[in-house]
Structure 1
Amino acid sequence: MSDQLERLNRLPLRDNLRGLQPYGAPQLHVPILLNVNENTHGLPEKVRAAIVAAVDEAAAGLNRYPDREFTQLREALARYLGHGLEASNIWAANGSNEVLQQILQAFGGPGRRALSFPPTYSMYPLLASGTGTEYVAGTRGPDFTLTAAAAADAVKRSSANIVFLCSPNNPTGTALGLDVVEAVYDAGAASNAVVIVDEAYAEFAHTGTPSALSLLPGRERLIVSRTMSKAFALAGARVGYLAAAPEVTDALRLVRLPYHLSAITQATALAALEHAGDLLANVEDIKDQRDRIVEELSALGLSPAPSDSNFVFFGGLKDPRAVWQGLLEAGVLIRDVGIPGHLRVTAGTEAETTAFLERLRELV
């Protein structure tokens, strides 16, 4: 046992937190970072200038608390999402992780159970543990897909109170059909389960891929979470949000911290939303690079999963750790997600993608 771990264990830490590792990917200083699914294109100058101006204006009132209800931001997010949503349907927090945490604070806790389907976003069990919620892992098919029947059966057998469906899924990148969401929602009626569809990468989906936003009417237990970290290139600003029935946002008001969304955060998000068109133009370029990666990996004899996200999950590697290390030595950092024979790479700029592919060809 390390000295640091020994010191930690001397503290009166909750039993369910002992032995856990904090979430986090390697933070290494290399020229090309393609490991944490950031938007590699950055903010267009026009958008950056708008954010600076908005933050400067907000700074004049920093001696006062921000709008506790972040009303303008909720109105702007509702307009952006469409689907007949109004401000009362919208909630926001400091990144989608805080949004998910608040959902668990409101609907999870001791004596309640959360279900998700690994491999999927690794924060789900950590968020469950942090809120004293029991975590149950469902299963996927050998190709990492999830069918409506299998998902519904897992919900019934687990009597889950909260279900996480990640679509497009992280780390595999593939979107779920709406039939899976509908089946899970119906199966959760017996346990009154809240169903969360995590659409962090929704803007990168192929044309025609449906969003669970279309399923919200008449489903008060359904929540669709989104983020501004990816498509809006605001990972450093920490803005996440959700759409749901108004009673869900009322429930989250019971657990949120006072004035949890700063005036600077609200101003930044509003300015970015005013320039959504400019930011989504970059999304189209990222999608082109993603599709290029899928095509060229297939030509190399590897097995990339169909991707509706800004990253590609690929298999067929005899020694993924050696490939990861070889890329790192060339200044390209991608993600080893711990799945045998597989790695994950973020779609970068054209130059970054070219550097990744050229080095990968040498290694494979």
Structure 2
Amino acid sequence: MDFPPIREELRGLEPYGAPQLDVPVQLNTNENPYGPSAACADDIAAAVREAALTLNRYPDREHVALRAALAAYLSRDTPHGVTPDQVWAANGSNEVMLQLLQAFGGPGRTAMSFAPTYSMYPEYARDTSTTWVQGRRAEDFSLDLDAAREAVERERPSVVLLPSPNNPTGTALPPEAVGLLCKAAASYEPGGLVVVDEAYGEFRRSGVPSAVELLPTYRNLVVTRTMSKAFAAAGLRLGYLAADPAICDAIRVVRLPYHLSAVTQAAALAALRHAPELLGRVDELRAERDGCVDWLREQGLTVADSDANFVLFGTFADRHAVWQGLLDRGVLIREVGPDGWLRVSIGTADEMMAFKQAMTEVMQTVAARTLGMEAQA
């Protein structure tokens, strides 16, 4: 008898995770390379110390103060404003997504997205016994809106997951996409939610709007965010969503009791007080990203347009050899996405210079090896 008696569909599967290697230049998990200042860290430490004095009591299970602060932050992205009862938070946007599937997915229900996209989406569906349906993106990784609408109307999903910018491609949704698919998901009974995952939303290029603006128009719209990326708080593990209050109420049914610790709530509130500082390097990272895109294209590589803090580039006959060549030179990027493609997170100017130098050496090595093979042939 096999042990342990795990669910059959989970047997033999490997857990999700990017390589965690001790190398000089780590550009593989889309982290913000600029950490909080000493003043911000001191504020967080003071807030956590104050919370620690109350750890004999359960935290505020409704995280009211945090929801109010997040609503005030999100209100910057819409003239309509966002109210605290429209906001829900959890331990990273991963838990937010899982809670959405727990509440609105499940046996006999369907979730869908359009590949290539975030590899955790089908795992959320699997873990909640939700049927997973995957459409396809166009060759340039954009979303064919007519095809996407037809797919939603045909499959009648309970939840549509639409990252913007998309991971791992960095592609942003066109403004009309959200409304079109919200209407499609409302055209059948009992209807479906459209979840726009804006984990990298703060990095979008000028003129690309946030879906938060559309919340008053589409009741079945959910917009998710995280403090892991632009806020330079990946270690905090705080994600959140904005939606109709009825959607937040439904999530409260499936959340675990007191799911956000007092320490997490205190640290997140302190970080939000320092939002201008923590977001202060976003413009710098955008410029570094655009420079990276230009440089990679100058090397003759194909590069996806990016509105995120990472760049997908290729294509390589043996992408693992390129990944390994970079790692051998102290630069760790991510081997992810369609075959032949690699993804690099945007780091500091020095880190990006190290990446470019290592990439130049690796491409020269690959070119020399290719020439040698051709000569032997």
CA contact (8 A) 2:175 2:208 kept: no
Q: 1:122 aligns with which of 86, 97, 119?
A: 119
Give the unaligned 5+ runs of structure 1. 1-6
Structure 1 counterpart of 2:64: 71
Between the aligned residues of both structures, percent identity stands at 56
2:168 counterpart letter in structure 1: P
How do 1:16-27 and structure 2 match up within 5 A?
A: 16-27=9-20
Residues 328-339 of structure 1 mapped to structure 2, 5 A cutoff: 328-339=327-338
**8 Å CA contact retained: 1:327, 1:333:** yes
**Which amino acid in 1 is paired with 2:116?**
P
Q: Deviations over 1:115-170 (max 9, x none)?
A: 01111011000010000101001111112110221211111121111100010000
- Conserved? CA contact 1:73–1:269, under 8 Å: yes
1:163 aligns with 2:142: no
Q: Is the 8 A contact 1:148 1:181 kept in 2?
A: no
Q: Secondary structure at the match of 2:347?
A: coil
Counterpart of 2:143, as a letter, is L
User: TM-score scaled to structure 2, two decimals?
Assistant: 0.92
Per the alignment, in what secondary structure is the counterpart of residue 170 of structure 1? coil
**Can you list the C-alpha shifts for 1:59-97, whole angstroms capped at 9, x where unaligned?**
111111111111110000000010311100000000000
Structure 2 residue runs without a partner (length 5+): 364-377
Number of residue pairs aligned between Structure 1 and Structure 2: 357
The code of the aligned residue for 1:258 comes to: P
Give the aligned partner of residue 339 of structure 2.
340
Distance 2:68 2:221 in 1: 20
Give matches, 1:155-234, under 5 Å: 155-189=152-186, 190-191=188-189, 192-234=191-233
Root-mean-square deviation (Å):
1.2
Q: Which contiguous aligned blocks of 4+ residues in structure 1 show a shift greater than 3 angstroms?
A: none
Q: Does 1:32 align with 2:31?
A: no
Kindly provide the amino acid, as one letter, of the partner of residue 64 in structure 1.
R
**Deviation, structure 1 residue 318:** 3.3
Per-residue deviation at 1:20?
Answer: 2.9
Find the residue that maps to 1:298 and give its secondary structure. helix
The answer to whether the Cα contact below 8 Å between 2:293 and 2:303 also exists between their aligned partners in 1 is yes
- Tell me how far 1:54 sits from its aligned partner: 1.0
Question: What is the TM-score with the length of structure 1 in the denominator?
Answer: 0.96
What does the per-residue CA deviation read over 1:236-256, in whole Å, with 9 as the maximum and x for residues that have no partner? Answer: 110000000000110011001
Q: What is the rounded CA distance, in whole Å, between the counterparts of 2:38 and 2:20 in structure 1?
A: 27
**How far apart, in 2, do the equivalents of 1:20 and 1:180 lie?**
34
- Pick from 131, 134, 137: which aligns with 2:131? 134
